[in-house]
Amino acid sequence: MSDASFLEVRDVRKHYGAIKAVDGVSFAVGPGEIIGVIGPNGSGKTTLFNAILGQIRPTSGSVRFRGDDVTGMSPLELSRRGVGRTFQTLQVFGQLPVRDNLIVAAQEFQGTLPGRLFAAPDAGLGERADEMIELFRLQHVARLPAGRLSYGQQKLIDIAMAFMAKPRLVLLDEPCAGVNPSLVDQLRELLVTLNKTQGGSFVVIEHNMDFIMRLCPHVICMVEGKVLAEGKPADVQANPAVLEAYLGN
Amino acid sequence: MSARRHLAGLAVVLAALVIVALFLKRSDVYLLTLWAVYLMATMGLNLTAGYAGQMSLGQAAFFGIGAYIAALLLKASWPFLAVLPVAAIVCFVVGIVVGFPALRVQHHYLAFATLGFNVLAYLAMRNEEAITGGTFGISGIPRPTLFGVDLGGHLAYWYWTLGSLVVLGGLLWWLLRSPWGRAFTALRDNPIRAESLGINITAYTLLAFAIGAACAGIAGVYYASLVEFIEPGPFHFSTSLMMLLAVIVGGSGRFYGPALGTAIVILLPEFLRGSSVPWLKFMQVWYLAFFGIAVIVLMIWLPGGLLSLRERLDRKGGPQ
């Protein structure tokens, strides 16, 4: 693993009794890199994300971000270090308008806690929120409570929120799940645009092979908690072990 | 609703409250003042429970702490305006101290933890006779004189309380529209997501709880001066339940919900009990039963509270 690694996951394990949900996974993500994580259901992808992001503490192994050991660090602390994420299920603030969902996603990085009490209601993020609303084509619903929108629209808000604070690293857990196929291409283009304009590295879990093969120059395939194969998308896709894991004998 | 229409509507309601009091009996003005006092506490509880999602059953304890601080300090000739910040700060600090361990649990566990605090506070008020006077209470609590104006009369005290309520309401309105208010709502809607976005849920939860407690402390000061005699009874946990009921009946997490809910919980039973309308005379006996049934029906029909009525009607009338 190079010194330039943004994220360095080394031999991470998460065991629940005899069940080895994640079993010695190592990989590294460089600055600006987009990495895809694929694998059948139950292969440990989301558990790996949760172990990296402090939602659960790994049984063993280490996670380093920008050279610092962040193993088991709380999501709050990781967020302050510039790590964003989306969840497998929708996680928007349903009662808040779309624009406020975006503002709240970055407001904690503006000034101090007491200072924010006396800050402008939009915490100085109105312009940034409007930019993201335009980028994600959400202008017509910007003032509506997020909970009233369609699943696809909420998914876009969810992803836009993860990028509001311009994080250095974003982990996206199944961004295409439940999304209309016509929106999948839009989503991929958005992620490419954000990668180019904002920089930062992305790790993407996804079941949509076409999406991941076109988005990620490097793919990791997990099966039963372990890394089965990794490399260029075409190579991983052609790997007989990967095919067997997905399709069986 | 536009900001201008909103302000105009608020001005009309306030003007009505100012004018109507001139034509009411002394006891009715007292009830109106009691409504305003409880509203200060329920607005604070709405912040804690409605906006920040922390189910508290300890609001009456803070209400009592504020009332006892007022009773002791006002009797020691402290100026009313000096007593207010003392009560608010003490309740804020006690809120932090109680909240820090209690807010590690959520939902009904938190409700029981805060209920336990209320029971402890009630027992302290009843048993620490040297300070609180125990069940004999503290009498002769003076009403304030501010800048040479005597607010001892029932109308003067009503206007003073109403003015203070508007100021407190304005402060809470501003707070809820600040980034803090947005963070409160976010942690109520989805604390896991909120934390992943850098929102310090421990700090914000504590702040919401402590600010709500401070509001109850301020309400307690106005209460002590209104009733001029306090004893532990009004600070029993049943008052916390009543306050929570007021928040839920009006519309939890809606700014004007507590105003409506407190009116129903405080004023409706008294209106029914004292009604001289011939066909409502039976209410003089049955008013509490009617009130209980009305609340049950309301909660079944409108679980979001009275202020969710329009949304419910919109949903019914809208496309399926």
Confidence at residue A179, expressed as pLDDT on a 0 to 100 scale: 83
Of A92, A109, A123, the CB nearest to B198: A109
H-type alpha helices, B178-308? 179-189, 191-196, 201-227, 237-250, 257-262, 268-274, 283-301
Q: Which residue of A has its CA nearest to B253?
A: A95
Structural domains of chain A, with CATH? 1-82+167-249 (3.40.50.300), 93-166 (no CATH)
| Among candidates A53, A94, A103 on the partner chain, residue whose Cβ is nearest the Cβ of B189 | A94
CA distance B247 to chain A (A): 18
Q: Mean pLDDT per 10-residue run, chain A (249 residues)?
A: 73 94 94 94 93 94 95 92 91 94 95 93 94 94 94 92 94 90 89 91 93 94 94 92 78
State how far the alpha carbon of B32 is from the alpha carbons of A133, B21, B81, B193, B216, in Å. 47, 8, 22, 42, 18
Q: How many CB atoms lie within 10 A of CB A10?
A: 16
Contact between A162 and A105 under an 8 Å Cβ cutoff? The reply is yes
Give pLDDT, residue B318. 47
Residue B65: partners with Cβ closer than 8 Å, 6 or more residues away: B87, B90, B91, B94, B121, B217, B220
Per-residue model confidence as pLDDT tens digits over B73-128: 999 999 999 999 999 999 999 999 998 887 777 777 888 899 999 999 999 999 99
Q: Which residue of A has its CA nearest to B315?
A: A148
List chain B residues with CB under 8 Å of A87: 192-193, 196
Record: contact B200-A108, CB cut-off 8 A:
yes
Handedness of CA B206, B207, B210, B216 (dihedral sign): negative
Do residue A108 and residue B180 have CB atoms under 8 angstroms apart? no
Nearest CA in chain A to B186: A93
Collect the ranges in chain B with pLDDT lower than 50.
318-320
What is the ipTM for the molecules in this complex?
A: 0.85
Contact A91 B192 (CB under 8 A): yes
B178 with A55: Cβ contact below 8 A: no
- B196: nearest CB among A79, A100, A110: A79
Q: How many Cβ atoms sit within 10 Å of the Cβ of residue B63?
A: 35
Put simply, the answer to whether A95 touches B182 (Cβ < 8 Å) is: no
B197/A104 touch (CB, cutoff 8 Å), yes or no = yes
Interface probe with A: pick from B197, B254, B255, most Cβ of A within 10 Å? B197
CB-count burial class (<10 Å; 0-12, 13-18, 19+) for B256: middle
Q: How many CB atoms lie within 10 A of CB B242?
A: 17
Q: Is A107 within 8 Å of B253 when comparing Cβ atoms?
A: no
Q: CA B64, B66, B71 angle in degrees (round to 5)?
A: 90
From chain A, the residues in CB contact with B192 under 8 A are 55, 75, 87, 91
Contact in structure between A11 and A24 (CB atoms under 8 Å): yes
For every residue of B101-162, which 3-state class applies, written as one string? HHCCCCHHHHHHHHHHHHHHHHHHHHHCHHHHCHHHCEECCCCCEECCEECCCHHHHHHHHH
pLDDT of residue B284: 75
pLDDT value at residue B103:
75
Cβ-based contacts of A77 with chain B (< 8 Å): none
Whether B185 sits inside 8 A of A96 (CB atoms) is yes
